[in-house]
Structure 1
Amino acid sequence: MVLKMALREFSHPKRGLYAFHSSPHDRNSTEREMAAAKTKLTKGLLIMGVIGALFLILGCVSLIVFDDIIHSQISSRLPLNKKGQTYNQWKAPKIPIYFQVWAFDIVNHLEILEGKRPAVIQKGPYTYREKRVKHDIRFFDNGTVYYKERRSFLFDRNLSVGPENDTVTSVNLAMVAAMTVLRYEPPLLKSLVEGAFQFFKESLFVETSVHDLLWGREDNILKAIADIAKSFNVTLPLNDTVGLLMGQNNSDTGEYLIHSGQKGLKDFANIISWNRQRKLAVWSTDYANTINGSLGILFPPFVSKDHKQYIFSTDLVRSLTLTYQKDVEAHGIPLYKFYAAPITFANVSINPLNAGFCTPLGHCLPSGLLNMSNAYYGAPVVLSNPHFLFCDPDVVESVEGVQPDTEAYESHLNIEPLTGISMDADKRMQINLHLQSIDGFRETYNLEPVVMPIMWLNESATIPEHQAEQFKTEVLNLILALTVVKYGLIGLGALLLVIAASFPIVQKIRRKKTTDVAGGNIQRVQPTRKNPNNSNKNDDYDDPLLVPTSDSENNQNIY
């Protein structure tokens, strides 16, 4: 191999032995050409190095500048105003919202009256399409916006297990509400109300339709009880209609004042007041009554995994802390999954901050339960996660048929981190009634205290695929392009610098190797005229040749 390389080098018309046949003029010309080529190569490498350094600097600068461009673009698009890109989607969301209901059918109501453990079977889902529209919108110069939001629900039979008039055996809401409100009233009043129950043939457990259980129905017993109470100068916070979500269809959810983002995005979409109150008057501590966070649809942008998110739930009438759980995606859009950790609803012995949610103060329910009686006019309503997920084990064991499952019953919000927009959400909760023996009402005498599950709900929304593609085109593709450019500049710049710096080194190594080979057993010899007096065995070599040398003749010319 080395011999072939040497032959190729020495036979070159300008660099090999035959070059000695050329004239001095040709040799000078060749040297000038080689010098010029070397100069051009040096200049080329220098230019390449400069360009590489420039690309590298631009790439490093773009790491900061491009992030600022992205932040600037998002910050200019997010704030709420009537001409902004976010406004129409915020005012009347086009993302489909589904409201699903599962009712618990009580299968042993007679045994419960005898003090036995309740047994239930869930029936559902019964699915409604939910529509939200904001109205009476007013923007203010201080960066806030006031509005009301109307919600309506339309039953979707195709997405349901049956019609709304499917029946279940459940708790008599009217009777339980009346007994609970009257439990501390005079015995005579309670005796008269007990007589009214018998006259109207009311029982603690009734067969009712899913529709009536959810949205309410007129009940004559309530009007009769209210009339009896008036004769004792007692006003009951009851009307003649009772339902778990009574009055919430085709109605406003309240009056809101939030940050519009026009004065900065730090508190973007966070609630300032609800129903003209900056603090609630439901719970027993300032912490519990604090209105904190957004409504769970929009958040301040540039969301961090390390920072908790806060939402205010009008259903729970309290603020919640959300914790990052894991990375997820919706139609190819990367999202951060946040959820309400078990400690959120833990008993005060585990989470002392929850002391304010004990009503009355000091009367705390087991972990996972929230006493909502103050928000429901004294009715013994208790909220929890579906199937008592994250509840005290004794609560789970108290009802046969509930099966806690994190994947199926956990609430979560999946947030796009750059914009702070929630693109996939499941808000789940269970409505229960606290049943116990109440003095003066005979049917409750043998009851064992129990939190009876009535119904659980799931309000869900996921960005449709066509809207996801639009978002990727308008936002993510721009970010991807900028990312490719900035890292491409860094990579290309580094590559050019490496080439420019390493090429001379490689050439020097190659020249050194060539010199080492030429100084070995193969060498160039100078041409000479044939000497007739020379009897050397190599006399025949009067032209330039490659002459092998012995070890003793190494590095000597042959003539």
Structure 2
Amino acid sequence: MGGRSRGRRAAAALGVAGLLCAALGVVMIILVPSLIRQQVAKNVRIDPSSLSFSMWREIPVPFYMSVYFFDVLNPDEVLQGRMPEVRERGPYVYRQFRVKTNISFHNNDTVSFRERCVLQFQPEKSQGSEGDYVMLPNILVMAASAMMEHRPMSLKLLMTLMFTTMGQRAFMNRTVGEVLWGYDDPLLDLMDKYFPGALPFKGKFGLFSQLNNSDSGLFTVFTGVKNLSRIHMVDKWNGMSQVKYWQSDQCNMINGTSGQMWPPFMTPETSLEFYSPDACRSMKLVYQKQGVFQGIPTYRFVAPNTLFANGSVYPPNEGFCPCLESGVQNVSTCRFGAPLFLSHPHFYNADPVLAERVLGLHPNAEEHALFLDIHPVTGIPMNCSVKLQLSLYMKAIRGIGQTGQIQPVVLPLLWFAQSGVMGGEPLSKFYKQLVLVPNILCYVQYALLTLGCALLLVAVVHLVCRQEKCYLFWRGNKKGPGAKEAMQAHSESLMTSAPKGAVLQEARL
């Protein structure tokens, strides 16, 4: 009797333990996702107490800008109407340091800041030096000529004389450093004297002169403290809720974030929007596929085919016109009137005729497509490479001798890739707190549920087995006429002689 009592107590203990484990597992399955969302929301919002605030204020990820130039090999032939031939030079690599300054929190759940960018040349990562000479179109001459296209012939002839006096030509041979960061030009002094305010800059002219030791404007974004769904979304840029560069309200809208972080809890239906001051417009990337980066699940977002499509191919882009072939966007309205165009490198994903008009271009997705790999739970980029090309529209302007017989062509000047990969201590800290801990909790909850069910099953089986043994014992000791007859028949069978060779066994009652 003591053994049976201990067995029942053990089974009861197993049952209680199993019930508790299963109940705890169910509770965790119900509550853990909510707790994880609360922790993510607490740690990604723009707040000094959040885990990601220091990352947002000063990006710990090493960012690099790699610049590739299109060196024109036959400038004299181009002036005679021949097809231009280019050779890609580079990369010339610069380390980017980004720090947010003038951070001010407001009562409407927004914060304002300026992000200062400093670029440092990295000779060990570059294929050449800033002293390398490259042959490029003379942007100032071609821009001034384009502006004079519909002016009286007398003014064009006067400009031709002026260009000749100053030694200006359609192509220039300058160093990489001069093209990027600025050079003195007498044409600039002349334009500033007779056309004050025509140029948005003073002093030297360089394609990236406004990117180094400067900021990209005053951003005001939502902090996500009161409304997580709007976190990082731009409220205003330089005090404006929309720009005035384009021909439609839709194209002038400032949508998305400032391009560094996005709202958490993404799905494949989520699109990635950001406002780019360099492109003077908002851009939208779309989901492509899932991936894993250093053990961290990611979503890859890429540019859709319609990003730089012209208005005839994609009507919403009509506001960016006047347009040329699909795949290049006219940015002259935000680049001091110069006929500059933005696209993917080597005219990737553009009308093939653009690349066919320039010898030496080889567009392909592997080298020229842009992408961003985002951790969907937090909206923080893990790996990114944004690639854009700047080109100049050139053609002969009747009356301006410097333009010769140049056939209409969109001639690439350079393309650049801004890339960053999270690693080191920031990656380790991110993985442990926002990936590893939630995964452990997820495994624990299902382990508890499984263990609880197993313990309950053992307890039930034990009780059933004990109950069957008790039932058989009770049947064997039952008194009555039927039992007596059964005992008598059994005794008679034992008294019957066993067959030869059989072994008599003792019956134990």
Q: Return 327-336 or 113-122, whichever deviates more.
A: 327-336
Q: Return 470-479 or 97-106, whichever deviates more.
A: 470-479
TM-score (norm 1): 0.81
Q: Which of 432, 436, 461 lines up with 2:391 in the alignment? A: 432
> Whole-Å Cα distance in 1 between the matches of residues 314 and 460 of structure 2?
62
Q: Return 428-437 or 82-91, whichever deviates more.
A: 82-91
Deviation at 1:503, TM superposition (A): 5.5
Aligned residue number for residue 5 of structure 1: none
What secondary structure, in the 3-state scheme, does the structure 2 residue paired with 1:342 have?
coil
Aligned residue number for residue 259 of structure 2: 296
Deviation at 1:240, TM superposition (A): 5.1
The answer as to 2:298 corresponding to 1:339 is no
> Whole-Å Cα distance in 2 between the matches of residues 261 and 332 of structure 1?
27
Aligned residue number for residue 474 of structure 2: none
The answer as to 2:357 corresponding to 1:405 is no
CA contact (8 A) 1:193 1:225 kept: no
The answer as to 2:174 corresponding to 1:208 is yes
Q: How does 1:433-472 map to 2 (within 5 A)?
A: 433-472=392-431
What secondary structure, in the 3-state scheme, does the structure 2 residue paired with 1:395 have?
helix
Deviation at 1:166, TM superposition (A): 0.5
Q: Which of 434, 452, 461 lines up with 1:475 in the alignment? A: 434
Q: Which of 51, 74, 82 lines up with 1:108 in the alignment? A: 74
Deviation at 1:319, TM superposition (A): 1.1
The one-letter code matched in structure 2 to 1:57 is A
Aligned residue number for residue 255 of structure 1: 218
> Whole-Å Cα distance in 2 between the matches of residues 510 and 142 of structure 1?
74
Deviation at 1:200, TM superposition (A): 2.1
CA contact (8 A) 1:348 1:354 kept: yes
Q: 1:280 to 1:510 in 2, by over 3 A?
A: farther
Aligned residue number for residue 128 of structure 1: 94
Which has the bigger relative contact order, CA under 8 A and spacing at least 6?
Answer: 2
Deviation at 1:425, TM superposition (A): 1.2
Aligned residue number for residue 236 of structure 1: 198
CA contact (8 A) 1:296 1:422 kept: no
Q: How does 1:25-424 map to 2 (within 5 A)?
A: 33=1, 37-38=3-4, 40-42=6-8, 44-227=10-193, 229=194, 236-237=198-199, 241-358=204-321, 363-424=322-383
> Whole-Å Cα distance in 2 between the matches of residues 379 and 301 of structure 1?
40
The one-letter code matched in structure 2 to 1:418 is V
The one-letter code matched in structure 2 to 1:119 is E
- Deviation readout 1:237-263 (Å, 9 max, x if unpaired): 375532211222111210111101221
> Whole-Å Cα distance in 1 between the matches of residues 24 and 186 of structure 2?
78
Q: Return 348-357 or 100-109, whichever deviates more.
A: 348-357
> Whole-Å Cα distance in 2 between the matches of residues 325 and 487 of structure 1?
31
Q: Return 38-47 or 192-201, whichever deviates more.
A: 38-47
Query: What stretches of structure 1 of length at least 5 have no aligned partner?
Result: 1-32, 513-524, 548-556
CA contact (8 A) 2:219 2:258 kept: no
Deviation at 1:485, TM superposition (A): 1.0
Q: 1:112 to 1:509 in 2, by over 3 A?
A: farther
The one-letter code matched in structure 1 to 2:424 is E
Aligned residue number for residue 477 of structure 2: none
Aligned length: 490
Deviation at 1:526, TM superposition (A): 6.4
> Whole-Å Cα distance in 1 between the matches of residues 57 and 17 of structure 2?
51
> Whole-Å Cα distance in 1 between the matches of residues 500 and 380 of structure 2?
94
What secondary structure, in the 3-state scheme, does the structure 2 residue paired with 1:103 have?
strand
Q: How does 1:3-18 map to 2 (within 5 A)?
A: none
> Whole-Å Cα distance in 2 between the matches of residues 540 and 314 of structure 1?
105
Q: Return 58-67 or 130-139, whichever deviates more.
A: 58-67
Query: What stretches of structure 2 of length at least 5 have no aligned partner?
Result: 472-488
Identity %: 31
Deviation at 1:439, TM superposition (A): 2.5
Structure with greater Cα Rg: 1
> Whole-Å Cα distance in 2 between the matches of residues 538 and 337 of structure 1?
84
CA contact (8 A) 1:119 1:400 kept: yes
- Deviation readout 1:42-98 (Å, 9 max, x if unpaired): 554454344434433332231220111111112122222334332222222221111
TM-score (norm 2): 0.89
C-alpha RMSD of the superposition: 3.0
